[in-house]
Amino acid sequence: MLRSRLACGQFVSEPEIYGRTFLGQRLEIWLPPSESVRTLVFAGIHGEEPETSVVLSRSLRALAEPLERCAVVVAANPDGLIRGTRGNARGVDLNRNFPTRDWQPDPVTHRWVVEEPSEVVLSTGEAPGSEPETQALVALVEKLEPSRVIAMHAPLACIDDPEASPEAHWLGEQAQLPVVSGVGYLTQGSFGTWCAERQLPVITYEFPRKSVEQLVLDHLPALTQVLSGSWPFD
């Protein structure tokens, strides 16, 4: 259920703290009153994808009722979001730092702007799971034991789900995005790989490159259904 005026923008509940960043910032999570979580949605693990956090925050603040069977992390990498960097404050790509069997110690490169040949080099961490943000998200998932996770990213414009689940197809239809089974490159040490090793379904929701306001218009209806538990899968 949406508020009659989305501009009022008030959170319907206060977040809990599930950890701290390298610089000591709070890692916040909004939980349903029942504390029974079927879906965990998080955004902002890459600090240079702020649109994911903005749209998820707007969706959360558009709810007129508390969350239902869904937990929300608006910013999984607040230090990176503040700095506008893909990695955390130590220059680590958190989405290559999870303690997976395929974690690699070598730096990874990321093309900053798709059309430009320049690349940013990032660390994968001193060891698997070395970063406090990674450790906190791992502990959170293990504590909540959700049935599925939706990870918000940009700007590949797709719904990535290796299992091609009904949930992924529903999101694809709602968002008018294609459902794919991979993004075309290796993601060793990623959150998705860590979850796959535990047989926890993960859907990567990749926004297209559009203005934030257009992304809100395009994706808020589907996301509010997920957060309120009114989509067909809860």
Which residues form the catalytic set? 206
Tokens found for residue 203: 């859907």
What CA–CA distances, in Å, run from 17 to 14, 29, 72, 74, 106? Answer: 10, 6, 12, 12, 32
- The three-state DSSP-derived secondary structure of the chain is CECCCHHHCCCCCCCEEEEECCCCCEEEEECCCCCCCCEEEECCCCCCCHHHHHHHHHHHHCECCCCCCEEEECCCCHHHHHHCCCCCCCCECHHHCCCCCCCCCCCEEEECCCCCCCEEEEECCCCCCCCHHHHHHHHHHHHHCCCEEEEEECCCCEEECCCCCHHHHHHHHHHCCCEECCCCCCCCCCHHHHHHCCCCCEEEEECCCCCHHHHHHHHHHHHHHHHCCCCCCC
